[in-house]
Structure 1
Amino acid sequence: MKIVVLGGGESGCGAAYLAKKKGMEVFLSDKGAIKDNYRQFLTGQDIEFEEGSHDEERILNADWIVKSPGIPKKAEMIRKIQEKGIRLSSEIEFASEFTDAKIIAITGSNGKTTTTSLIYYILKNDGLNVGLGGNIGYSFARQVADENHEYYVLEVSSFQLDDIQNFRPYISLLLNLSQDHLDQYNYNYEEYALAKFRIAENQENDNFFIYNKDDEMSKNILEKLEIKARMIPFSTREQLTEGGFINGDRIEIKLKDDFSMKIDELSLLGNHNVANSLAASIAGKILEINNESIRNSLMTFQAVEHRLELVTEIDGVKYINDSKATNVNATYYALESMKTPTVWIVGGVDKGNDYSEIEELVKRKVKAIVCLGIDNDKIINFFKDKKKFIYDTSSMEKAVEISKSLAKKGDTVLLSPCCASFDLFRSYEDRGHQFKEQVTKEIR
């Protein structure tokens, strides 16, 4: 079988490696430049590849094409592949064909990385043989090639779900929905939401679908779809007869047996993380992990880097790195959890943001806005009549310098950009690292 892999990053290299190990004829093509470490990996594994262009004839002669999630659905090459009727899969689809492990797959607009990491931690802490992959860590395909896990916990994006055919998790979780990546979904929120719901489309009645009962778009979609999996809800607003919910100062899970613990014992802060902890606990209960083990994991789990990460406190000012907040809804959760006057660093590549969602929170919580991006006009124009202090910057050094001058003892400086990072930074990780470097450079 001839396999062509499009994209030479972690996902693409993992898929090519798995295909090679399965005895397939493999060719990897990347229209851009491949990073040195991945180029060396491909060469070391004797995997044929090209970079800087696509050999169209060779690609369109494939039996099966594996597409990296970063390649837009509307790309010309993708259109030609679809016209020719060649099977086009994401790496998670491809890798899932070669493992019998139970897959726990997590998607949603916000909280995916935190909840994926937390579920992995719960399973690992209980001694289960588990791998972590998808949009986090090593690629799923590379782990399937080299390791023999009984469980995989996968963070899954809508872009990965766009290219599945048979992918069937044992447990799927849809944490929440908000308007994100609409530029890739014809600026249609429902089209984006339906892409997320594909996580459950191949599930059967011996599988589980964990969903957010408070989420309005999820409610609307569930009225139209038939989910075959056993559906288990969680809510932070109402008490449920089955699922996860808040009861006073406690979280509670009601399934075969009950689980309960105090909210203030959770290691993760903020209302959104209570929801994430509920979802993760339900997954733990489905997998029959005992209550004490789940409680221990929820108490000792450490927050994910770039996600409401406390960097340091200088002269009574807290500096928080929430660089992973690349949409308005993620920043909503960050601002909601702020307990002190906040200097807010925001900006980057806008993805169709509607800032009215956070207007009231900004009025109540934010003392000054520091814009960080090449083009900050949309943010400035929206907030100029609502906030007295708005600053326009195009470097992390300047953004942090101004934020430090504005923040007083007892305040918080929050990097929660609402936007993608690619105007000034290589990635949201790069943006977060530069923030931490600038914040701490005077105290090193």
Structure 2
Amino acid sequence: MTAELNHHSSHYSLIIGLGQTGLSCARFLVQQGNAVAVIDSNDKPACLNALQKDYPEVVVKTGSIPADWLMRADSIVLSPGVDPRLPQIQQAAAAGIEIVGDIELFARHANAPIIAITGSNGKSTVTTLVGLMAQMAGKKVAVGGNLGTPALDLLTDPAPDFYVLELSSFQMETVKSMNAFASVILNVSPDHLDRYDSVEDYQRAKQKVYQGNGVMVINRDDPIVSSMAIAGRNQLGFSLHESQGYEFGVLSQRGHLWLAEGDAPLMLVSEMKIAGKHNVANALAALALGSVMGLPMDAMLQALREFKGLPHRCRFVREINGVRWFNDSKATNVGASIAAIEGLADNGKLVLIAGGVGKGQKFEPLAATLNEYVSTVVLIGQSAEEIARHVPKSVKVHFAGDIKAAVKLAATSAENGQQVLLSPACASFDQFSNYVDRGEQFEQAVRELTA
């Protein structure tokens, strides 16, 4: 389908990419009274029908990203999935046309303090936790961004008490004017290296979350994040070790681990329903953000006691024949899988199901973790052979054609008392529509296992 732009209508905002974010940008810009055009390189973008139904006046072109449309636009709004390195986008930028994303538009119109959360892993968990803590404290919060509701759809009048935003590095690339009330980079591990020219470029995109003069929440255990701390700015740290003053950390007392503020124990780690060291770090990050927001401690701890975790993120599926099965389909990069494996490692070596689309990342960092915590690996998908090259000799390797076969192989490999973890370390789109679909197919296959 193509549409022609009226050559006289030189004043328009051009949105590139028509997924959920692109649709929310179109809705927002039309409501602001702008003339809007949308282009998408797919012939049938995800939200085409919704756009045509609600905003028939918006001109749409699908199937390509023509340079002349970009060169005639007043401003270009990039969806996070669109690579800003495309030559026609670079050409428009060089011609002085403003290029923004939905988060930049949001930042210009936000009417309440922003809590901004990014990082390679854990951001959805922390975003959801902070939202829950604020709700338990009786605050009105709008939660979304990269997770759930697109940011521009959160803008309301009257304003909420806080906007709590999960932000991806892709969304941060085009941000200039955001000044968050509190912000955190949870951790940095190499991800999306198919999208960035270097690890440094990826880190720079994340680092924008700290711009402005709000409170910087710093992961003291992550050297890259710690190096981003700016002298003279308000900072609040968290660590899986003992912390000082008002910083959040972990205390050991009488053989039990406690979440703590400085030397004051707050609650037992074992009271949380979410498992693993990485989730302890997520809980501490949420406590730090919540304390900057002035949320009462009892409301925050209540949220930590009740939160069961998010679907497809290290979720317990079932126990059968003495084997416990966990779904961590959301682990689309090596760092996330390492966190999940180490998080479940208290109960002996586990059986891992991994593989999918590698997105140009290196699998060497998996080797030490596999050696220490994994007895058998079942590999699926496009990157199976590549991952296998980095599996240590101490670990058995099996290959499976699909997730169902992988579950059967894992079931025969696992012994009584062992855990089986789906934590792919890869994207899913070689065999599944997304990580949710992958997780659901895994859970279905696990439910079909018979004792």
Tell me whether the two structures share a fold, i.e. TM-score over 0.5: yes
Offset at residue 83 of structure 1 (A): 1.8
Q: Tell whether the 8 Å contact from 2:332 to 2:426 is kept in structure 1 after alignment.
A: yes
For residues 198 and 440 of structure 1, the distance between their equivalents in structure 2, rounded to whole angstroms, comes to 43
Give yes or no for the alignment of 1:235 onto 2:239. Answer: yes
Local SS of the residue matching 1:97: helix
Offset at residue 61 of structure 1 (A): 1.4
The 5-angstrom pairing of residues 160-175 of structure 1 reads 160-175=171-186
Which of 247, 250, 261 is the matching residue for 2:258?
Answer: 250
State the partner residue of 1:277: 283
State the partner residue of 1:13: 23
Give yes or no for the alignment of 1:4 onto 2:14. Answer: yes
Offset at residue 79 of structure 1 (A): 1.6
| Two-structure CA RMSD over aligned residues (Å) | 2.2
Give yes or no for the alignment of 1:350 onto 2:358. Answer: yes
Offset at residue 28 of structure 1 (A): 1.4
The 5-angstrom pairing of residues 34-49 of structure 1 reads 34-35=44-45, 38-46=48-56, 47-49=58-60
Which of 315, 319, 328 is the matching residue for 2:325?
Answer: 319
Give yes or no for the alignment of 1:198 onto 2:205. Answer: no
Offset at residue 35 of structure 1 (A): 4.7
Q: Tell whether the 8 Å contact from 2:375 to 2:394 is kept in structure 1 after alignment.
A: no
Q: Tell whether the 8 Å contact from 1:252 to 1:261 is kept in structure 2 after alignment.
A: yes
TM-score, length-normalised on structure 2? 0.90
For residues 147 and 300 of structure 2, the distance between their equivalents in structure 1, rounded to whole angstroms, comes to 22
For residues 81 and 143 of structure 1, the distance between their equivalents in structure 2, rounded to whole angstroms, comes to 29
CA gap 1:340/1:418 in 2 versus in 1, 3 angstroms: same
- The superposition leaves residues 322-346 of structure 1 with CA deviations (integer Å, 9 ceiling, x where unpaired) of 1111111111111112224321111
For residues 259 and 198 of structure 1, the distance between their equivalents in structure 2, rounded to whole angstroms, comes to 33
- The superposition leaves residues 65-90 of structure 1 with CA deviations (integer Å, 9 ceiling, x where unpaired) of 11111111322332222122211111
State the partner residue of 2:429: 422
Q: Tell whether the 8 Å contact from 2:427 to 2:435 is kept in structure 1 after alignment.
A: yes
- The superposition leaves residues 295-315 of structure 1 with CA deviations (integer Å, 9 ceiling, x where unpaired) of 111100120111101112222
- The superposition leaves residues 267-302 of structure 1 with CA deviations (integer Å, 9 ceiling, x where unpaired) of 321111111111101111112111211111110012
Letter in 2 for 1:374: Q
Offset at residue 185 of structure 1 (A): 2.1
Letter in 1 for 2:425: C
For residues 180 and 148 of structure 2, the distance between their equivalents in structure 1, rounded to whole angstroms, comes to 19
Local SS of the residue matching 1:149: coil
Local SS of the residue matching 2:289: helix
Which of 59, 63, 80 is the matching residue for 1:69?
Answer: 80
Structure 1, unmatched stretches of 5+, are: none
The 5-angstrom pairing of residues 145-184 of structure 1 reads 148-184=159-195
- The superposition leaves residues 396-440 of structure 1 with CA deviations (integer Å, 9 ceiling, x where unpaired) of 122112112222321211110111112222221221121112222
For residues 421 and 297 of structure 2, the distance between their equivalents in structure 1, rounded to whole angstroms, comes to 35
For residues 194 and 37 of structure 1, the distance between their equivalents in structure 2, rounded to whole angstroms, comes to 31
Offset at residue 118 of structure 1 (A): 0.6
- The superposition leaves residues 150-197 of structure 1 with CA deviations (integer Å, 9 ceiling, x where unpaired) of 3111111111111111112111111111111123222x2233222211
The 5-angstrom pairing of residues 302-317 of structure 1 reads 302-317=308-323
Give yes or no for the alignment of 1:365 onto 2:373. Answer: yes
Which of 284, 296, 301 is the matching residue for 2:302?
Answer: 296
Q: Bigger CA drift: 407-416 or 44-53?
A: 44-53
State the partner residue of 1:329: 335
Letter in 1 for 2:334: V
Letter in 2 for 1:385: K
**Count of aligned positions:** 434
Letter in 2 for 1:278: L
For residues 390 and 147 of structure 1, the distance between their equivalents in structure 2, rounded to whole angstroms, comes to 57
For residues 312 and 33 of structure 1, the distance between their equivalents in structure 2, rounded to whole angstroms, comes to 41
For residues 227 and 428 of structure 2, the distance between their equivalents in structure 1, rounded to whole angstroms, comes to 31
Q: Tell whether the 8 Å contact from 1:253 to 1:278 is kept in structure 2 after alignment.
A: no
CA gap 1:429/1:88 in 2 versus in 1, 3 angstroms: same
State the partner residue of 1:380: 388
For residues 225 and 219 of structure 2, the distance between their equivalents in structure 1, rounded to whole angstroms, comes to 7
Letter in 2 for 1:214: D
The 5-angstrom pairing of residues 26-37 of structure 1 reads 26-35=36-45
Q: Tell whether the 8 Å contact from 1:134 to 1:154 is kept in structure 2 after alignment.
A: yes
Q: Bigger CA drift: 227-236 or 125-134?
A: 227-236
State the partner residue of 1:262: 268
State the partner residue of 2:8: none
Q: Tell whether the 8 Å contact from 2:144 to 2:166 is kept in structure 1 after alignment.
A: yes
Local SS of the residue matching 2:194: helix
Local SS of the residue matching 1:382: coil
Structure 2, unmatched stretches of 5+, are: 1-10
